[in-house]
Structure 1
């Protein structure tokens, strides 16, 4: 019988929801590579649980997604390390990288991803590091990534990690935990694994609480705690996450979590995650219907965003349009896209509730058209 990993790499049609992860990774790699290479530091990608590179029916996996973007934006100026514990997947990936002529920059390694992460830290100096972690189950302990959170703030580190959600509940074993006849020793071992993986026992409040909390709320509490751990050193201050699931109401398969030192990453990933999630859901919900050709934006209701723009302009007056968006995304991650925000700003200005104080004809605003640097202020009446 094929293993879970073999089934996973057979075809993404068997688990179409996984394409959400691929879309997010693909959407971020090009702008990330394009911008980070301008810093002049060596660019290093690490995919600690890489897989074979593509599915049996030819869909690209994370190694190809990463290399294809890096080749376009930073050809000859990046290195990529792809780790597989499975010799079969290692060989398949090695062949794929050679065939695609990526082998000069990309190195497949047969080994343990966690060991690799720990061993590479002493070798880093000024590299800009992008770390992608997509393990099966909970096979990456927090101690493996914690050293990356303590790098010199003068050098860039970005982390994108997938947390397998169903196993959180299985290892927490809430019902068994309160059953006096359960195997307490086994449950204690499961709980230790959760604590090692998540970097603390904060998960207990969410997953063991006897409060009447729904499943999604418990999961959000855990993921919020994980994001706080990622940003706890003050280095990777900007975090966010996207649920990966088969339908809007179905169980969550993964949470894709990122951590970055720069607000631009958060803004880009806000759009990438919002679009990937909603595009997939729209495709699933409208397939085989008369609405299957309509884009996901058809159903969007963003009237609340205009009011948010007004509220945040009052709360953070005299900020640029770009900076105000950062404040909104911090509090409302994945709720709206940047293009929706631009329209909402225009609507708020036309309503007379806010105005642009940057004079037309000034170096910042040469025409009437607003740009990212234009300063927004609330009107006195608002």
Structure 2
């Protein structure tokens, strides 16, 4: 089948912005402690969209080039691009820059990711930090295989979960084998979401799917249809989810910082590429955070890092926590023992004692 280069739609640009912001930040942190880092794209495409925009492989290589151009960055970057379609793989290979720095190596493999990744796991050292881009449905990398990846201590997964396509196929006998391959077994057929509808079905499926992945931190970013998709009611319907999977709180907090400003509204983690005016803002406020802290931490003592890690799934980022805690300090509701910061600052090891409690 001939490969048709896809058009880059507005909602897909959010995925690129996340990659462009998270990958270099991730690489700088891990690169300070490791000589080599790996980026693996399991559905790489041809590297270019129909209108000439760069695809994620070229964006990542551009970020890698900038990273190694900084003399303070000492790590080497291994970029592995897996593409099942032979034409797309050839086109991607032709677009890999020939003048990459010696410390950036890029390899294109014309392979099925489901068959190739187990071989790759055998070849890569277990402690090698790796960031793996996965689509478990369109180009299957199933749950058991993703769990093998997540068993590796420094591997993270960035997952595209194509809810709209999956939902159309859940009750179709012709696609049952594909769904079973994605899950790794037939237990999905007995799950409650199969008899549910609308939002209950969607949230039930997503919770069930993510619940089977062995990651301690699962951060979701919802992508809705945009007007250019021309789907009836699309601006309120989910196209897919981007999910960051890791077993390290600091990785989840870093990804949250990246995702926070990219939704239709700050802190909603929900994007449709529309600029609709809402009567009431859905952006969580610092006052919301203050109230949550009062309710959940009364009488407790935690460091600033521990506070953020314990509440990693709350829709707030570091600056909000700092503002909230310092506001509470000004109201004599918390006491801060400054271990790491100076007189009025607030950093990771500083100890916060909340008032109240029994």
TM-score band (shorter)? 0.7 to 0.9
Deviations 1:283-312 (A, max 9, x none): 6225xx9x9xxxxxx973413111112223
In the alignment, which residue of structure 2 is the partner of 1:133?
134
Give the 3 Å change call, closer, same or farther, for CA 64–206 of structure 1 in structure 2. farther
Deviations 1:148-172 (A, max 9, x none): 1333x3xx11111101111221222
1:87 and 2:86 aligned: yes
1:9-20 matches, cutoff 5 A: 10=7, 12=8, 15-20=9-14
1:245 and 2:224 aligned: yes
In 2: Cα distance, 1:251 partner to 1:281 partner: 11
The answer to which of 28-37 and 243-252 deviates more is 243-252
1:44 and 2:42 aligned: no
Q: What SS does the corresponding residue of 1:285 show, helix, strand or coil?
A: coil
Contact 1:49/1:135 (<8 A) preserved:
no
Aligned counterpart for 1:285 among listed residues 253, 275, 293:
275
In 1: Cα distance, 2:117 partner to 2:193 partner: 29
Give the 3 Å change call, closer, same or farther, for CA 44–369 of structure 1 in structure 2. closer
Give the 3 Å change call, closer, same or farther, for CA 58–350 of structure 1 in structure 2. farther
Give the 3 Å change call, closer, same or farther, for CA 307–24 of structure 1 in structure 2. same
In 2: Cα distance, 1:380 partner to 1:312 partner: 11
Give the 3 Å change call, closer, same or farther, for CA 199–278 of structure 1 in structure 2. farther
In the alignment, which residue of structure 1 is the partner of 2:288?
304
In the alignment, which residue of structure 1 is the partner of 2:247?
261
Shift in Å, 1:91: 2.3
Deviations 1:97-141 (A, max 9, x none): 125637961111222222211211111223222111147736332
Q: What SS does the corresponding residue of 1:105 show, helix, strand or coil?
A: strand
In 1: Cα distance, 2:200 partner to 2:62 partner: 37
1:223 and 2:206 aligned: yes
Give the 3 Å change call, closer, same or farther, for CA 98–197 of structure 1 in structure 2. same
In 2: Cα distance, 1:39 partner to 1:52 partner: 33
Q: What SS does the corresponding residue of 2:312 show, helix, strand or coil?
A: helix
Aligned counterpart for 1:164 among listed residues 131, 154, 162:
162
Shift in Å, 1:246: 2.8
In 2: Cα distance, 1:366 partner to 1:136 partner: 50
In 2: Cα distance, 1:136 partner to 1:92 partner: 23
Aligned counterpart for 1:23 among listed residues 17, 20, 39:
17
Contact 2:43/2:83 (<8 A) preserved:
yes
Contact 2:160/2:242 (<8 A) preserved:
yes
Deviations 1:151-201 (A, max 9, x none): 3x3xx111111011112212222xxxxxxxxxxxx62x5334323213453
In the alignment, which residue of structure 1 is the partner of 2:229?
none
Give the 3 Å change call, closer, same or farther, for CA 157–282 of structure 1 in structure 2. closer
Give the number of aligned pairs: 336
Contact 1:50/1:134 (<8 A) preserved:
no
In 2: Cα distance, 1:243 partner to 1:162 partner: 10
In the alignment, which residue of structure 2 is the partner of 1:375?
351
Give the 3 Å change call, closer, same or farther, for CA 204–351 of structure 1 in structure 2. farther
Q: What SS does the corresponding residue of 2:274 show, helix, strand or coil?
A: helix
Q: What SS does the corresponding residue of 2:45 show, helix, strand or coil?
A: coil
Contact 2:143/2:213 (<8 A) preserved:
no
In the alignment, which residue of structure 1 is the partner of 2:322?
342
TM-score, normalising length: structure 2: 0.82
In the alignment, which residue of structure 2 is the partner of 1:147?
148
Residue ranges of structure 1 left out of the alignment (5+ in a row): 174-185, 292-297
Contact 2:222/2:271 (<8 A) preserved:
no
Deviations 1:229-251 (A, max 9, x none): 222xxxx4222211111369521
Contact 1:169/1:207 (<8 A) preserved:
no
Q: What SS does the corresponding residue of 1:372 show, helix, strand or coil?
A: coil
Contact 1:43/1:79 (<8 A) preserved:
yes
TM-score, normalising length: structure 1: 0.78
Tell me which protein shows more helix as a share of its residues.
1
Q: What SS does the corresponding residue of 1:40 show, helix, strand or coil?
A: coil
In 2: Cα distance, 1:64 partner to 1:58 partner: 12
Shift in Å, 1:68: 2.2
In 1: Cα distance, 2:189 partner to 2:325 partner: 39
In the alignment, which residue of structure 1 is the partner of 2:332?
352
In 2: Cα distance, 1:205 partner to 1:226 partner: 10
Residue ranges of structure 2 left out of the alignment (5+ in a row): 70-74, 227-233
